[in-house]
Amino acid sequence: MKIHKTLSVICLTLFAYTFTFAQQDFQGKAYYASKTTIDMDGFGSPDMSADRKKAMMERMKSFLEKSYILTFNKTESIYTEEEQLAAPGASQGRGFGAMMSSFSAGDQYKNVQTNQLLQEQEFFGKQFLIKDSLPQLKWKMTGETKQIGQYLAMKATAMKPVDKMDFRSMRPNRGGAADKKADSAKVNKPIKEIEVPKEIEVTAWYTMQIPVNQGPGEYWGLPGLILEINADRTTILCTKIVLNPAEKETIKEPKKGKEVTKEEYTETVLKKMEEMREMYGGRGGRGGGRRR
């Protein structure tokens, strides 16, 4: 009975929105807030004080809390980070902090008709244009619903492979030799101090009131706009939607940077990270080379 009631509500809602999305020049803008939490107990030296960890979190806030705008039509979207003032000292530091300050993501373009994903990315002063196909997540519908603002949202889950360079899922490598052996089949290790899970569960909440195959970041593939994503330690939540804004924007493919594949870009970053590890002397070293 509950399922029939839900279906009736969805059908009535979709009928009410049919005219809006029938327009040939339809466009929308969705505003998202992204927040990532990090376990600071595993980073830095074991004797680091609570005050120093708190200060480090403040410096990293610009990396962990971001705002984005997704401009979309029926087949294309462009995902742009809103500019914000960095926290004092955010671009300073060594090791992990210095590495994170070197990343600067540009616009991300998705075309669900051509299955294309383009990402502008700056890394250590070099501009790249990463060309890839859209990730194919196997979404499972749960039948659960909730209200997000004025929209009825439906829940879907999927297992997502984790990119080696996705800092949002990076964890300190605490295990000893026995633990490393046990985890070797489960974990990729870009550098010795950090580990990344091979896959994570993603929960998405989408609305069929906006029947476009789009969502924030690399997420897409559901029969409605994705309003919320929960992936490991990251939550992305839609805070505002504007349909058919008075001033429409032209959604263009990014062109800036050296064209590379995702694999080529990852290889470049891993090489640079290894150079940095050598520079800072591996685990806890202070010199410019490796300690024996």
Higher per-residue confidence, 83 vs 194:
83
Between CA 176 and CA 167 the distance in angstroms is 22
pLDDT score recorded for residue 286: 45
Nearest to 72 by CA among 255, 256, 245: 245
285 falls within a domain: no
Which region, left, alpha or beta, applies to residue 207 given φ > 0 means left and ψ of -120 to 50 means alpha?
A: beta
Which spans in 121-241 are helix H?
177-183
Q: With 0-12 CB in 10 A as exposed, 13-18 as middle and 19+ as buried, what is 265?
A: buried
Arithmetic mean of pLDDT, 84-91: 52
**Residue-wise pLDDT tens digits, 93-117:** 455 555 555 566 789 999 999 999 9
Residue given tokens 């979709």 in the structure block: 14
Q: C-alpha distances in angstroms, 231 versus 13, 34, 137, 151, 205?
A: 28, 11, 13, 21, 12
288 falls within a domain: no
SS3 282: coil
Question: Which structure tokens are listed for 23?
Answer: 């327009």
Judged against a pLDDT cut of 50, whether residue 189 lies above it is answered with: no
pLDDT-derived band of residue 123, with 50, 70 and 90 as boundaries?
confident
Q: Which residues contact 169 (CB under 8 A, 6 or more apart)?
A: 162, 196, 197, 200, 232, 233
Nearest to 229 by CA among 132, 176, 160: 160
SS3 60: helix
Question: Which structure tokens are listed for 170?
Answer: 């990076």
Range of the domain at 113: 2-279
Residue given tokens 């879907």 in the structure block: 156
Between CA 7 and CA 2 the distance in angstroms is 9
pLDDT-derived band of residue 180, with 50, 70 and 90 as boundaries?
very low
120 falls within a domain: yes
Between CA 117 and CA 78 the distance in angstroms is 10
Between CA 122 and CA 281 the distance in angstroms is 26
Percent share of the chain, pLDDT over 90: 44
CB distance 165 to 264 below 8 Å: no
How many structural domains comprise the chain? 1
Arithmetic mean of pLDDT, 161-174: 68
Question: Which structure tokens are listed for 289?
Answer: 């080379």
Between 74-83, 239-248, 278-287, the lowest mean confidence (pLDDT) is in 278-287
| Whole-prediction pTM | 0.76
